[in-house]
């Protein structure tokens, strides 16, 4: 019974960690103020 509880705890922690990370997601940021280029840039 104790082994089952320990395994369930490990599983719950893994789920909690992954769900938290994915819920935070990736930052969207803001649209870049830089223009669409009509001149040739000197370098990247």
List of residues contacting other proteins (CB under 8 A)? 2-3, 6-11, 13-15, 17-18, 21-22, 25-32, 34-41, 43-44
Shortest distance in whole angstroms from residue 16 CB to other proteins? 10
And the tokens for 39? 């001149």
Shortest distance in whole angstroms from residue 20 CB to other proteins? 10
Q: What is the DSSP string of 1-44?
A: -HHHHHHHHHHHHHHHHHHHHHHH---------PPPP-S--S--
Shortest distance in whole angstroms from residue 35 CB to other proteins? 8
């Amino acid at each position: 019974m104790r082994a089952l509880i320990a395994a369930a705890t490990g599983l719950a922690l893994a789920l909690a960690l992954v769900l938290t990370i994915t819920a935070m997601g990736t930052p969207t940021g803001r649209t870049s103020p830089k223009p669409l280029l009509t001149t040739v840039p000197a370098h990247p």
